[in-house]
Chain A
Amino acid sequence: DAKTTQPNSMESNEEEPVHLPCNHSTISGTDYIHWYRQLPSQGPEYVIHGLTSNVNNRMASLAIAEDRKSSTLILHRATLRDAAVYYCILRLTNNDMRFGAGTRLTVKP
């Protein structure tokens, strides 16, 4: 299974941009890169996903390296409500979605 590697934790100041990195050096050509986040005692929330090109939506931007071996989730202006565990997940060709340890983002006021 293709795996992802993320830092255990990151800190950010409120209203500043946050760049959350993810390495996935064994990604296959048909794997989509998904990002979810989980607030305490809640189910994961979809953030964004992409295949090869950079993607933007109202929540975040996803920058994908040209070789697809890494990606970065960008929160343009962090708020206190963005404090969560962020998971970078590769969707395998059989459509399973398996979670790694994720990055715990702390946002300081």
Chain B
Amino acid sequence: GAVVSQHPSRVICKSGTSVKIECRSLDFQATTMFWYRQFPKQSLMLMATSNEGSKATYEQGVEKDKFLINHASLTLSTLTVTSAHPEDSSFYICSGRGWRPDTQYFGPGTRLTVL
């Protein structure tokens, strides 16, 4: 299957700082990318959907000013958690979908810990 990478895989930051997570599709062009968040022992929750060159669409309850998403190219999307707080500590997972809409390919996830 297609490959999606995330960087960093793990990050620890102080409360109030901002953290950027990169998501890259390595061997396909991701026209649409999705960002999910997963708390311990829970399922993945969709945060937002972004199409290349367009503004992201956020799910209800997800603050767009706190979770900034940029999808500037067909192979790169970034999620910036601004002014992070301990309650933002979670496992963030991105996913890409290419021209063929049948399926999505997921990155390995980024574990964010806010102290």
Contacts and interface: CB of A to CB of B under 8 A. Distances in A.
Interface residues of B, number: 25
Contacts of A45: 106
A41 B109 contact: yes
B46 interface: yes
Contact of A101 (B6, B34, B43, B46): B43
A29 interface: no
Interface stretch (A10-18, A63-71, A76-84, A90-98): A90-98
A12 B86 CA distance: 38
Contacts, number: 50
Interface residues on A, range: 20 to 34
A50 B43 CA distance: 22
Given A101-B43, A102-B43, A46 B91 contact: no
Given A95-B97, A98-B46, A100-B43, A32 B108 contact: no
Residue from B43, B44, B103, B107 with most neighbouring chain A CB atoms (10 Å): B44
Contacts of A102: 43
6 contacts: A41-B111, A43-B93, A44-B95, A45-B106, A99-B45, A102-B43
